[in-house]
Amino acid sequence: MAREFLARGYDATTMEHLAAAAGMTKSSIYHHVSSKEQLLQLAVSRALDALFAVLEEPPSTQGPAVDRLQHVVRRSAEVLDAQLPYVSLLLRIRGNTPVEREALDRRREFDARLSALVQSAIDQGGIRADLDPRLVTRLLFGMVNSVAEWYRPGGSTAAAEIADAVVTLALDGLRRTSD
């Protein structure tokens, strides 16, 4: 259903479209879900649950903050690969309905936890202290999320290569130092 919402836009998608995509009649789909909005909630919750689950993984909670940050950045890129239509839908949410506003609240909570992790990494001396942690969080996840605009699972660039490149670029930068 996420693909239907993405292809047509949420407003233009009807329960008939969603039923047809699921191989059901319009009356049978109502045995499973009560509304289009409930389907949107299921879809964006799938993306949000996967992202919050990353924060509970042991490498996200143990060890130096810079290593935890690196793990979260890498795993977020992997979630984007594994849950692409759901993450893409989440990234388009603008807050027009209660379901969308709740999703935006959870996105903000996720951003706040990442921002706190960036701050911890600064405090521990693991990452540079001359950049604003909220700005760093936005740029880091702006980079990760931008992958949703062009990435196609099974295409020429593998998910693991993207995750590696994001982590290398973000943590170590492009500039070649004397080596």
Chain residues binding a copy of itself by CB under 8 A are 66, 69, 121, 125-132, 135-136, 138-143, 145-147, 149-150, 157, 161-162, 165-166, 168-176
Phi and psi at 11, nearest 5°, equal -65, -35
* Sign, CA torsion 64/66/67/72: positive
Nearest residue to 94 (alpha-carbon basis) of 34, 15, 5, 1: 5
What is the nearest approach in angstroms of a copy of itself to the Cβ of residue 143? 4
Tell me how far apart the alpha carbons of residues 175 and 67 are, in angstroms, rounded to a whole number. Answer: 21
What is the nearest approach in angstroms of a copy of itself to the Cβ of residue 158? 10
Q: Which amino acid is at 156?
A: S
What is the nearest approach in angstroms of a copy of itself to the Cβ of residue 135? 5
Of 57 and 161, which has the nearer Cβ to a copy of itself?
161
Of 56 and 130, which has the nearer Cβ to a copy of itself?
130
Of 66 and 79, which has the nearer Cβ to a copy of itself?
66
What is the nearest approach in angstroms of a copy of itself to the Cβ of residue 11? 10
Q: Which amino acid is at 1?
A: M
Q: Which two tokens stand for residue 162?
A: 């993207």
